[in-house]
Structure 1
Amino acid sequence: MTVTYVIDGAEVTDLDRFWQVIGAAVNGPGGYFGRNLDALADCLRGGYGTPDDGDFVIEWRRHEISRRMLGHEETVRTLQRRLERAHPDNRAGIQTELDQARAGRGATVFDELVRLIEEEAPGVLRLS
């Protein structure tokens, strides 16, 4: 039997809130389902609250609200934080992404989340 986890896009106001919302959807209030893209990828592969047989769906309702909230402005904020902590060898690449985001170009946080979910758990994501 397929288990459905629901994310309400109106609750996703920034990336930090996304981690809280998806954690609660999968593992209940205060639950964990990643706090960064690498951790989300691990969680999507199983063993962090989803069924062992992988028969689950993430239904992202009102995703257009999240798409706006996790757009270029949030991408800039996220990349600025990443740049502050980055190893010196990685700063130039992050700076390039940051410049693109400031210009309203390139993938957004929303785009990266959707890409990762679809890549790590094909067919699981339903945008509505």
Structure 2
Amino acid sequence: MTVTYVIDGSEVTGLERFWDVIGEAVNGPGGCFGRGLDSFADCLRGGMGTPDDGDFVIEWRDHALSARALSHDETARFLRGLSGRAHTSNLPRLREELAQAEAGRGPTLFDRLLEIIREETAPGTLRLL
């Protein structure tokens, strides 16, 4: 039986709030389902609240509201936070990504989250409503 996890896009006001919303959607009140892009990808692979057989759907309602909250501004804020603790070999790439985000170009956090979901789950798992 397919399990459906619902993300209420109107509740996503930034990346930190997204982690809360997805955590509660999958694991109930106060639940966690990763608090970083890499850990989110790991959780989607299984064993962190989703069915072992991978038979689940992520239904992202009001996703356009989330897309606005996870736009280039939020992406730039996120990248600024990373640059303070990134390895020096990653700084040139981070600076370029930050410049792109500040200019309103390049992938947003919303785009990255969608990409992660699509890469780590079966086709059709993500439903944008």
Residue 117 of structure 2 corresponds to 117
Alpha-carbon distance in 1 for matches of 2:75, 2:49 = 28
| 1:31-61 Cα distance to aligned partner (Å, 9 max, x none) | 1111111111111110000111111000000
More displaced, 59-68 or 81-90?
A: 81-90
Q: CA RMSD in A?
A: 0.6
Alpha-carbon distance in 1 for matches of 2:18, 2:42 = 16
Q: TM-score, normalised by structure 2?
A: 0.97
- Structure 2: gaps (5+ residues): none
Query: Counterpart of 1:105 in structure 2: which amino acid?
Result: R
Residue 60 of structure 1 corresponds to 60
Written as runs of structure 1 = structure 2, the 5 A alignment for 1:101-112 is 101-112=101-112
Alpha-carbon distance in 2 for matches of 1:95, 1:7 = 31
- Structure 1: gaps (5+ residues): none
3-state DSSP of counterpart to 1:60 = strand
Residue 96 of structure 2 corresponds to 96
Residue 19 of structure 2 corresponds to 19
Residue 127 of structure 1 corresponds to 128
3-state DSSP of counterpart to 2:84 = helix
3-state DSSP of counterpart to 1:111 = helix
Runs of 4 or more consecutive aligned structure 1 residues displaced over 6 Å after TM superposition: none
Aligned residues: 128
| 1:29 maps onto 2:29 in alignment | yes
Residue 8 of structure 1 corresponds to 8
